């Protein structure tokens, strides 16, 4: 039986592991984190394609996984609606994808607290070593280890994350903490705002145990705001003066930055929307990076998910893309006698789709990156606020096939 070692036990790793087992492979997943990944993460859009991929993995949701919204509403600086786009969509929570996938994968083969250290290749095997000295002999190594992938650094060291010049603040509040006005006017909407030089989206999401019962749900916002490289360094520096690479764990974010965000909210958000920022029980910040690869298949090594490409969150397909990569990889490997030929077929199919998604994300974020107040201030990008409502949070293929440009 062929054997794969997957480095990274998050969304991409779990989908790949599950699909490979279904086609008769033995799989071990190495996950660096010891703690509970499911307790992290915020809201995500659940595209229909994702539901199909979850079903193809043989995983069935036992309860509601998200909240439906009927469309997107654009709000101006005074809090009045300037445009709507009808589009029924289910908004869920990251852990409502992660947890069922994790539960479906055999615990004996999911090694948490196992950090990848190095690998060596011979003509027909890959030998993977962990930091604590264990080795796994495999036919295939899959890098599903996220945007700072150590596997990518080993096989394609020139591909590194590129900072886009802005960050996304994220916050989640409990429905019951929000005012009656917020609950009746805003809560049920998928809202788009364009506070000066940035963009904010907000939407309802399920409560902590996945409940969609009124009163127990949560509200999620994501606010893109420009930030210079120098200010980013300060943001990534914790109270002990340690500057973190690329991102900072939420508990280490200095209060001064959250206070600064609240000041910005007071100045630039319509009064009702300020609540989303002020009442959030958890505030996180995610610097926006692009990872754009020219190769994702190497000798007995494949990259999937964020290790392969990072698409800006405007497109809302991080989870979907990781699951699609995993599925296509498993279908290329099904019955394959030549693993490298199968990997090349995987690359041929996934590379163009991922490059389109990266380009789409860059276009959506270009006005923020170029310090324009609103999308219309960058006419060569051919995007106005109404169009942003239509084309955000959807895979590139939708934009093309529904002729949304
Ligand atoms: C905890 C968490 C929460 C997230 N929340 C959201 C969200 O709310 N909304 C959203 O849209 N996207 C979220 N994302 C990102 C989104 O899940 C990804 O875009 C998408 O799932 C791609 O997943 P991935 O498996 O490729 O990478 P990731 O989800 O980034 O997972 C990579 C995994 O690899 C592990 N890893 C890294 N290096 C090593 C190593 N050397 N050895 C072993 N393991 C290693 C990491 O611990 C991590 O679990 C989140 C990611 C994480 C990890």
The preferred substitution site among 145, 350, 393 for testing ligand 1, maximizing ligand atoms within 8 Å of CB, is 145
How far CA 265 is from CA of 175, 199, 223, 280, in Å, comes to 19, 12, 10, 12
Ligand 1 atom showing the smallest separation from residue 11 Cα: 25
E strand or H helix at 182 = helix 180-185
CA distance 44 to 30: 25
CATH 3.30.9.60 boundaries in the chain: 67-89+163-289
- Written as six digits, the tokens of 303 are 């990259």
Q: How many beta carbons lie within 10 A of that of residue 103, not counting itself?
A: 11
Indicate the CATH number for domain 3-60+96-161+290-366: 3.50.50.60
Q: Give CA–CA dist 369/234, Å, rounded.
A: 19
- Given the CA of residue 325, which atom of ligand 1 is nearest to it? 26
Ligand 1 centroid–CA 261 distance in Å is: 25
Please identify which residue in the block is written with the tokens 């909210």: 265
C-alpha distance across the termini of the chain, in Å: 48
**Cβ of 40 less than 6 Å from ligand 1:** yes
CA distance 217 to 186: 13
What pLDDT is attached to residue 62?
Answer: 58
Q: Distance between alpha carbon 364 and the CA centroid of its chain, in Å? A: 16
CB 317 near ligand 1, within 6 Å:
no
**Is 14's C-beta closer than 6 angstroms to any atom of ligand 1?**
no
Which part of the chain has CATH 3.50.50.60? 3-60+96-161+290-366
Determine whether the shortest distance from the Cβ of 29 to ligand 1 is under 6 A.
no
| Architecture of domain 67-89+163-289 in this structure | 2-Layer Sandwich (3.30)
The pair of three-digit structure tokens given for residue 156, joined into one six-digit string: 């394609």
Q: What DSSP character marks residue 242?
A: P
Tally of CA atoms within 13 A in the half-sphere of 49 that contains its CB? 17
What strands, in cross-sheet order, belong to the sheet with 140-143? 110-112, 26-31, 3-7, 140-143, 301-303, 297-298
What does the alpha-carbon distance between residue 124 and residue 308 come to, in Å, rounded to a whole number? 23
pLDDT for the residue numbered 64: 62
Nearest CA, atom 19, ligand 1: 318
Instruction: Show the tokens assigned to 167.
Output: 């960050």
Tens digits of pLDDT across the chain (405 residues): 999 999 999 999 999 999 999 999 999 999 999 877 777 777 888 888 999 999 999 998 655 678 999 999 999 999 999 999 999 998 988 888 999 999 999 999 999 999 999 999 998 999 999 999 999 999 999 999 999 999 999 999 999 999 999 999 999 999 999 999 999 999 999 999 999 899 999 999 988 877 889 999 999 999 999 999 999 999 999 999 999 999 999 999 999 999 999 999 999 999 999 999 999 998 999 999 999 999 999 999 999 999 999 999 999 999 999 999 999 999 999 999 999 999 999 999 999 999 999 999 999 999 999 999 999 999 999 999 999 999 999 998 888 888 777
- Ligand 1 mean position to 9 CA, how many Å? 8
Phi-psi region at 371: left, alpha or beta (left = phi > 0; alpha = psi -120 to 50): left
Structure tokens at 212: 């969609």
């Amino acid at each position: 039986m062929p054997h794969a070692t997957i480095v990274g036990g998050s969304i991409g790793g779990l989908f790949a592991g599950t699909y490979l087992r279904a086609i008769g492979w033995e799989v071990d997943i190495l996950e660096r984190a010891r703690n509970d990944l499911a307790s992290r993460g915020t809201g995500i859009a659940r595209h229909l394609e994702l539901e199909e991929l979850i079903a193809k993995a043989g995983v069935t949701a036992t309860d509601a996984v998200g909240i439906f919204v009927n469309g997107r509403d654009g709000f101006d600086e005074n809090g009045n609606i300037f445009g709507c786009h009808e589009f029924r969509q289910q908004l869920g929570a990251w852990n409502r994808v992660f947890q069922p996938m994790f539960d479906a994968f055999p615990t004996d083969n999911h090694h948490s607290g196992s950090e990848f250290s190095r690998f060596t290749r011979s003509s027909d095997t890959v030998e993977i070593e962990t930091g604590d000295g264990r080795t796994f002999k495999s036919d295939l190594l899959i890098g599903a280890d996220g945007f700072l992938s150590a596997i990518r650094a080993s096989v394609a060291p020139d591909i590194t994350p590129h900072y886009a010049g802005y960050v996304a603040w994220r916050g989640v509040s409990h429905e019951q903490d929000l005012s009656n006005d917020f609950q009746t006017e805003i809560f049920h909407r998928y809202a788009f705002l364009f506070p000066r030089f940035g963009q904010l989206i907000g939407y309802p999401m399920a409560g902590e145990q996945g409940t969609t019962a009124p009163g127990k749900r949560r509200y999620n916002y994501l606010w893109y705001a420009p930030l210079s490289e120098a200010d980013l360094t300060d943001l990534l520096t914790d109270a002990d003066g340690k500057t973190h690479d690329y991102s900072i764990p939420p508990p280490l974010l200095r209060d001064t930055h959250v206070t600064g965000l609240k000041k910005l909210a007071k100045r630039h958000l319509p009064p009702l929307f300020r609540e989303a920022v002020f009442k959030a029980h958890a505030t996180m910040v995610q610097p926006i990076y692009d990872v754009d690869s020219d190769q994702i298949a190497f000798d007995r090594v494949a990259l999937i998910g964020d290790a392969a490409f990072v698409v800006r969150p405007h497109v809302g397909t991080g989870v979907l893309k990781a699951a699609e990569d995993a599925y296509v990889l498993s279908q290329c490997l099904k019955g394959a006698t030549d693993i490298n030929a199968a990997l090349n077929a995987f690359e041929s199919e996934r590379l163009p789709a991922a490059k389109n998604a990266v380009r789409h994300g860059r276009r959506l974020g270009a006005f923020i990156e170029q310090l324009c107040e609103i999308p219309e201030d960058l006419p060569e990008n051919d995007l106005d606020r109404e169009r942003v409502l239509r084309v955000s949070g959807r895979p590139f293929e939708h934009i093309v096939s529904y002729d949304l440009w």
